[in-house]
Structure 1
Amino acid sequence: MFNAVPKEIKVALLMAASLFMEMLDGTIVITALPEISRYFSIGAATVALLVSVYLITSAVFIPLSGWMVHRFGKKKIWSIAIIAFTLSSLANAVAPNFYILLITRIIQGISGSMMIPTARLIVLEKTPSSKLLKMVGYLIWPALIAPAIAPIIGGVIVTYWNWQWIFLINIPIGIIVTLLGYKTIEPDKADKSSVFDLKGFIEIAAASGLILAGAELATHGVYYWSIALIFVVFGLLLGIIVFKHLKKAVHPLFSIDALQVVSFKICQTSGSVLWLCVGALPYILTVFLQTVFQWSAVKAGSYVLFIFIGNIGIKPFTNFIIRHLGYRSALLLSFGMIFITSIALAFITPDTFAMYIMLLALISGAGRSLALTCYNGLSFSEIKSKYRNSANTLNAVIQTLAQGLGISLITVVVDLLQLYFSTAVSYKLGFIFLGVLILFPIIEVMVLPKNIGQTTLIGGEENVSRHIR
């Protein structure tokens, strides 16, 4: 059956599978932290390093990926990355002590940072604008599915097996995708003369690391907020220096010229807010149901699963909606769905009709799916093929920071609210906070031209008829 699929779709599905493996691994481990803590007899704060070092390592090394694919070729870097990711997953499962596990998680974070932008670039670099929306459809589902199903899969694994299987599930996926990728992906030329911007890499790595380290530190309680704020402020100041360096450097690590294109810039600004919410909502809903409603991990995960069902349920219709409404109207529709459901979740109680909670999660998931498809199709709609490597790297850096900040931000907001309100009220206000955040993308998108990204909406018979005329 796989042989009958067109080659470009085969490649897109393989890249999506590798992205799914990485994104699932980045979130599912959260469910296993209590078990790992007991297994190695360590504290909750120490075991949480498994999440933070992975996230920070990924963010630090993503900027390197754009230069590496230039220097060594996309197929080679992707192949090395997925093999290293698979082997490090195995090493995670058999680690004899916590410190070895921490080291293997760092290796896994580095390999994941190479895999994410390279996989996207393999699919998008040569894709004409008229086919971008279609190909993005294959790449977007891992970001939608992985965070939504991670809680229930993790809950089942921890409840009925042991935490090692959190990492072992990557092994068969990694082996299959590696073998299929070796046969399917075409070799590409490497540019041996590519100059490495060491100064730019160090600056970007330091800025990303400080911001995410500060955000992570803030989640450990009010006593850490002062030093966390210092980390974040220094990271942002260093980010300004990075921006100036990339703008003036003769051979920058990656170009930021794509920010001059409105359709790309809008995906980095309001799109980042959406990515932040995408990372935060499944997390806060899971913790809310377990902490406030006192539900088990499996029961809470089964409700959060409806976000995933909404993601998948609307997927066959997203391209149709975008093509008929246009990006601007489709985005506003999706924002409305996210806003309404986020606010509504603040008013659910343990006595709320189960189907109502599931429906809210379903609609929220559908809105997320539509919005992310819009942003991913729009971001490269006006970027020429030769500039997509740099644009892809910049996009990956910003998305990683936004996703990483999502869980940290909502955790800090809820902790801050708990200084003045009960736990239940604080979580409810947390949902409202996420809803209010969506107002920024709504305002920014409302001023966009109605026909923005139109080149990606012209394809198939319409494209042929244009050329005939």
Structure 2
Amino acid sequence: MPLTRERLVPFIVAVALFMENMDSTVIATALPAIAADIGTSPIELKLAVTSYLLALAIFIPVSGWMADRFGARTIFRTAIVVFVAGSVLCAVSGALWHFVLARFLQGMGGAMMSPVGRLVLIRAVDKSKLVDAMALVTLPALIGPLLGPPLGGFLTTYASWHWIFFINVPIGIIGFVLVTKFVDNVKAEVPDPFDTVGMALVALGIGGLAFGSTVISVRVVPLAASLTLLAVGAAATFAYVLYARRAPAPVIDLSLLALPTFRAGVAGGFVFRVGAGALPFLMPLLLQIGFGMTPFESGMVTFATAFGAMVMKTLVPRILRRFGFRATMSVNALLAAGTIAACGLFVPGTPVWVMIAVLLTGGLFRSLQFTSVNTIAFADVEPRRMSRATSLASVSQQLSVSTGVTVGALALETAMAVRGDAALTAAAFPPAFATIGLIAAASLVFFLRMPADAGAELARRKGDRSAQD
């Protein structure tokens, strides 16, 4: 088949996703080494993880408007440049706050990449083919997480953690060239006016709540400052909810949550990701600090999770056509949560093959859940509201992962305090894994409330069969 622009664009978008996904998994494996080199602790270094996700959550809402106003190609190329610049600054950081700010810059670049690609996909693909498209277009991006843990561990163990950021430079250059050559600079004929007030309230709300909840437990700022951040975040969030009810074009359209399928995909997906999002943060710490593995050994073990995710991507369409969205997402939420909690049963004497088996199985279930919630959210969204829907879904997704990292770290700190431990040991991890597993399981409530035939058109199921599930 000839390589047309239509065939190439999804893979060009995947270049950006490749950088983002590989970067997030590479840094998780290298956290202990980075912390030791810049003079901080791995738990305090969660600020860098949170700052990246926080930047995504804050700047994703404006990315759709920027693409409509300035064109998709312009925003894509700018995003790649900003992301690569942040990567270089991460590599040359010598202190915690330098690293945190550099990761925030990376997040700004990442915020402009993913939503634009998702929006292009949703607008270009018929709903009856959306499940297959979602599963197919994310396969190249999964190469990042697949390579991330072993590559990050190898570079950290045998070279230097700095190289995990420098590798984004050649990838970014390739992406920049491909975007310039093959992506059209499509703009909206009449873009919505920019919601300045709404954007300010969203930034204050998300920033205050997410960052305040992170710094309150690591004592890098005074307690009063942490409480102030939380109070400002809560007040701004409440103010935005009131404001969005009367705004003609709010930057985050909360009225979309009235749709049962969108609410299940976004709200249920948020709760599930809070639990699942803590796993990449906790597992490398357990394997390296708790079990004494090298970063490379740790990366080779966690490699199994991404491999399981890749395998499941090819099976998702068939599973959803056979069982439907509601049944699949409800049962699978419990199965995925069980594999998360099972990681708390790992002890220093646990055979490596057992850990790999659990992580691989967990990767299968979590991949199925992620693809399902990402797809069902757009089942009943009207085309004219699709841009706002992708913005809200992307903000929720990124904020949930940030919350998961905070919850996972808080669970570790609580376990250490209860045990009276001065240093992090393997004994603190079982309660943490149990906590995030229970949180992931709680997402079941949202999935059970979906209609029985939810997403029948997306899964290409017959109406009479859907109604029976």
The answer to whether the superposition gives a TM-score over 0.5 is: yes
94-103 vs 233-242, which deviates more? 94-103
Q: Work out whether residues 55 and 108 of structure 2, in 8 Å CA contact, stay in contact via their aligned partners in 1.
A: yes
**Could you say if the C-alpha distance between residues 444 and 220 of structure 1 is closer, same or farther in structure 2, counting changes exceeding 3 Å?**
same
> What is the CA–CA distance in structure 2 between the aligned matches of 1:143 and 1:443, rounded to whole Å?
30
**Secondary structure, counterpart of 1:56 in structure 2:** helix
* Residues paired across the two proteins, number: 458
Give 2:466's aligned residue.
none
Give 1:433's aligned residue.
435
Give 2:359's aligned residue.
361
The Cα offsets for residues 169-213 of structure 1, whole Å up to 9 and x where unpaired, read as 112222222222233323313346641111111110111111221
Which residue, 99, 123, 126 being the options, matches 1:125? 123
Which residue, 393, 396, 402 being the options, matches 2:394? 396
The Cα offsets for residues 248-274 of structure 1, whole Å up to 9 and x where unpaired, read as 112322433322211111111110012
> What is the CA–CA distance in structure 2 between the aligned matches of 1:51 and 1:262, rounded to whole Å?
32
**Could you say if the C-alpha distance between residues 180 and 199 of structure 1 is closer, same or farther in structure 2, counting changes exceeding 3 Å?**
same
Letter matched to residue 256 of structure 1:
L
Give 2:242's aligned residue.
244
For normalisation by structure 2, the TM-score amounts to 0.88
**Could you say if the C-alpha distance between residues 396 and 139 of structure 1 is closer, same or farther in structure 2, counting changes exceeding 3 Å?**
farther
Which residue, 449, 454, 457 being the options, matches 2:456? 454
For normalisation by structure 1, the TM-score amounts to 0.88
> What is the CA–CA distance in structure 1 between the aligned matches of 2:257 and 2:127, rounded to whole Å?
18
Q: Give 1:348 deviation, angstroms.
A: 2.5
> What is the CA–CA distance in structure 2 between the aligned matches of 1:22 and 1:185, rounded to whole Å?
19
The Cα offsets for residues 210-244 of structure 1, whole Å up to 9 and x where unpaired, read as 12211321441699777645533542332121122
The Cα offsets for residues 301-328 of structure 1, whole Å up to 9 and x where unpaired, read as 2211111111112221111111111111
- Aligned-pair RMSD on alpha carbons? 3.0
Give 1:467's aligned residue.
none
> What is the CA–CA distance in structure 2 between the aligned matches of 1:247 and 1:314, rounded to whole Å?
40
Give 1:409's aligned residue.
407
> What is the CA–CA distance in structure 1 between the aligned matches of 2:224 and 2:322, rounded to whole Å?
49
**Could you say if the C-alpha distance between residues 181 and 410 of structure 1 is closer, same or farther in structure 2, counting changes exceeding 3 Å?**
same
Q: Find out whether 1:424 has 2:426 as its counterpart.
A: yes
**Could you say if the C-alpha distance between residues 204 and 368 of structure 1 is closer, same or farther in structure 2, counting changes exceeding 3 Å?**
same
Q: Give 1:145 deviation, angstroms.
A: 6.0
Q: Give 1:6 deviation, angstroms.
A: 6.1
The Cα offsets for residues 313-350 of structure 1, whole Å up to 9 and x where unpaired, read as 22211111111111112213322321222233222222
Which residue, 179, 185, 190 being the options, matches 2:183? 185
218-227 vs 180-189, which deviates more? 218-227
Q: Work out whether residues 50 and 405 of structure 2, in 8 Å CA contact, stay in contact via their aligned partners in 1.
A: no
**Secondary structure, counterpart of 2:312 in structure 1:** helix
> What is the CA–CA distance in structure 2 between the aligned matches of 1:7 and 1:133, rounded to whole Å?
21
Which residue, 51, 75, 78 being the options, matches 2:76? 78
**Could you say if the C-alpha distance between residues 228 and 365 of structure 1 is closer, same or farther in structure 2, counting changes exceeding 3 Å?**
farther
Percent identity, please.
Answer: 28
- In structure 2, the gaps of 5 or more residues are 464-469
**Could you say if the C-alpha distance between residues 411 and 159 of structure 1 is closer, same or farther in structure 2, counting changes exceeding 3 Å?**
same
**Could you say if the C-alpha distance between residues 96 and 333 of structure 1 is closer, same or farther in structure 2, counting changes exceeding 3 Å?**
closer
Q: Find out whether 1:54 has 2:52 as its counterpart.
A: yes
Which residue, 428, 441, 444 being the options, matches 1:442? 444
Give 1:276's aligned residue.
274
> What is the CA–CA distance in structure 1 between the aligned matches of 2:356 and 2:35, rounded to whole Å?
32
Letter matched to residue 217 of structure 1:
V
Which residue, 321, 332, 335 being the options, matches 1:334? 332
The Cα offsets for residues 117-138 of structure 1, whole Å up to 9 and x where unpaired, read as 1121122233221121122113
Letter matched to residue 400 of structure 1:
Q
> What is the CA–CA distance in structure 1 between the aligned matches of 2:206 and 2:93, rounded to whole Å?
28
The Cα offsets for residues 373-424 of structure 1, whole Å up to 9 and x where unpaired, read as 1111111111122211000111111111101111111110121122223643
**Could you say if the C-alpha distance between residues 436 and 104 of structure 1 is closer, same or farther in structure 2, counting changes exceeding 3 Å?**
closer
**Secondary structure, counterpart of 2:124 in structure 1:** coil
Q: Give 1:151 deviation, angstroms.
A: 3.5
**Could you say if the C-alpha distance between residues 47 and 353 of structure 1 is closer, same or farther in structure 2, counting changes exceeding 3 Å?**
closer
The Cα offsets for residues 141-180 of structure 1, whole Å up to 9 and x where unpaired, read as 5776655653432221111122331112112222222222
117-126 vs 217-226, which deviates more? 217-226
Q: Work out whether residues 86 and 106 of structure 2, in 8 Å CA contact, stay in contact via their aligned partners in 1.
A: yes
Letter matched to residue 159 of structure 1:
T
**Could you say if the C-alpha distance between residues 280 and 36 of structure 1 is closer, same or farther in structure 2, counting changes exceeding 3 Å?**
closer
Q: Give 1:294 deviation, angstroms.
A: 2.1
**Could you say if the C-alpha distance between residues 296 and 35 of structure 1 is closer, same or farther in structure 2, counting changes exceeding 3 Å?**
closer
5 Å-filtered alignment, 1:203-222, equals: 203-220=201-218
